[in-house]
Amino acid sequence: MDVDGTMTDGGVTLLSQTEEIALEIKTFDAHDGQGLALAHTAGIRTGCITGRQSSALLRRAREMNMEFIYMKQPLKIPAYEEILRKAGVPESSVAYVGDDLPDLPVMRRVGLAVAVGNAVPEVKKAAHYITDARAGRGAIRETVELILKAKGLWQEMIDQARA
């Protein structure tokens, strides 16, 4: 999945006292976090590919036990292909969630291309599924549910949820 505008609402929040030292603040979504936890419980492996670098993302991704974390990727295909190799899965088994033009090359290749509810028109057109939820407000959770329900795993996941 993408990060800014997909795992977050697209807000790029900067806090800085001097131009040299700037901190980036990122806001993730608790429902998305629960969705990722359930995905992992069900054996789904997750990762993100983003153009930015952020220790807040790194922390959240590790906290969420994401397996693949690629930052500073102006183009997403190289990271995507490395993930494919490492995971040893066919492209048809991969789902990718995105919101903007840099996500298009990956979305055109994966088995399930998902656009967040407020993705740009070009991304919505390229998607197999468009979430009702907006980015940073449950789009990842909705995607996980879609997959787990399709696999008939959702009901048994409900009672395995941990806070």
Does 120 contact its own copies by CB under 8 A? yes
Comparing C-alpha atoms, which of 117, 102, 112, 98 is closest to residue 147? 112
User: How far apart are the C-alpha atoms of 130 and 64, rounded to whole Å?
Assistant: 24
CB 157 within 8 A of CB 42: yes
Among positions 25-54, residues that touch its own copies (CB under 8 A) are 25-31, 33-34, 38, 49-52
Least distance (Å) from its own copies to the CB of residue 156? 12
Which residue type occupies 90?
P
Least distance (Å) from its own copies to the CB of residue 52? 8
User: How far apart are the C-alpha atoms of 29 and 130, rounded to whole Å?
Assistant: 18
Tokens for 68, please give them: 């693949």
Does 19 contact its own copies by CB under 8 A? yes
Contact segment (CB under 8 A) with its own copies among 40-48, 83-91, 109-117, 154-162 equals 154-162
Tell me the number of residues near its own copies by CB under 8 A. Answer: 58
Q: Is 16 left (phi over 0), alpha (psi -120 to 50) or beta?
A: beta
Least distance (Å) from its own copies to the CB of residue 48? 11
Q: Which helix (H) or strand (E) covers residue 146, if one does?
A: helix 139-150
Does 85 contact its own copies by CB under 8 A? no
Residues forming contacts to its own copies in the complex (CB under 8 A) are: 2, 4-5, 8, 10-19, 21-31, 33-34, 38, 49-52, 55-56, 58-60, 62, 73-76, 99-104, 120, 122, 136-137, 141, 158-159, 161-163
